[in-house]
Structure 1
Amino acid sequence: MLKIWSMKQAQQKEETAQGPAKKKKVTAAQLRVQKDLSELALPQTMKTTFPNPDDILNFILTLTPDEGLYKSGLFTFSFAITQNFPHEPPKVKCQQKIYHPNIDLEGNVCLNILREDWKPVLNLNAVIVGLQFLFLEPNASDPLNKDAAKDLQEDRDRFRRNVKTSMGGGNVRGETFDRVMK
């Protein structure tokens, strides 16, 4: 809250020094995103980047799991946040084509807090922790990629082999996947 207050004061000082000029309005969504981002305590396996530094509503999260089946992979997710945030969840999409029960071949992510369980009290940290958890414990009971979910449920060894093959840029069930090994 102090950071927002100091930003507002700096903005007012700048306006007084420059005289009356066009004010750039800061929206409620931008304030909330700024607050959420300032409270993030990302582990070394995650990093955020902003393609346009003036646009905090659109950013990239890079995730490199250090354990689990997806260990040593490099995954990027785009976050697109609307002006209705936090009343609407962010739109999150995986930038790589990967073999995962909860991420379809177009990069859509199946995470309950990005859909029906979203509440305005949730923040970006909750979404990021949820994404990290999907790589530690893929959920076969709520799939977007039904083939991957079926493999996970019926034959964990086959699922493990398919994850490894797909992460190397290989072909699984007729689909060629992006190489994500770092």
Structure 2
Amino acid sequence: MPGTAAAIETCFLPPCALGKFEPPLFHPNVYPSGTVCLSILEEDKDWRPAITIKQILLGIQELLNEPNIQDPAQAEAYTIYCQNRVEYEKRV
């Protein structure tokens, strides 16, 4: 559908499907719905149409390895991550 409003919108909106886990993960930066809390996936934060799929996947990989405790999306995972890292590692 080149040239249509849908095609143009698709080029400029964040790729939602790349930022969601099914089933949802136990992680401080993954909402209970499975959506990843990552600023480059949020249109009103750091999303830019020039961001590549590779950059998004690397961002998700980094977030999974090193949670961003400044922007928690899941209270239980955040609390356990901050208070008991051994228990957190068992759960993930």
Q: TM-score range by the shorter chain?
A: 0.7 to 0.9
The partner residue of 1:88 within 7, 13, 20 is 13
TM-score of the two chains, using structure 1 as the length reference: 0.43
Q: Which residue of 1 aligns with 2:49?
A: 120
Q: Which runs of 5+ in 1 are unaligned?
A: 1-24, 29-81, 164-182
- Quick one: higher RCO (CA 8 Å, sep 6+), 1 or 2? 2
Larger radius of gyration: 1
Cα distance, 1:104 vs structure 2: 1.9
SS in 2 for 1:94: coil
The one-letter amino acid of 2:38's match is L
Q: 1:157 aligns with which of 68, 79, 86?
A: 86
Identical counterparts, % of pairs? 30
Higher helix share: 2
**Deviating runs (4+, > 2 A) in structure 1?**
25-28
Amino acid at match of 1:96: P
Q: Tell me the distance in 1 between the aligned counterparts of 2:2 and 2:28.
A: 38
Deviations 1:156-182 (A, max 9, x none): 11211222xxxxxxxxxxxxxxxxxxx
User: Paired residues, what number?
Assistant: 87
Residue of structure 1 in register with 2:24 after alignment: 97
When the two chains are superposed, the root-mean-square deviation of aligned CA atoms in Å is 2.1
Residue of structure 2 in register with 1:110 after alignment: 37
Question: In structure 2, which of residues 70, 75, 78 is the aligned counterpart of residue 146 of structure 1?
Answer: 75
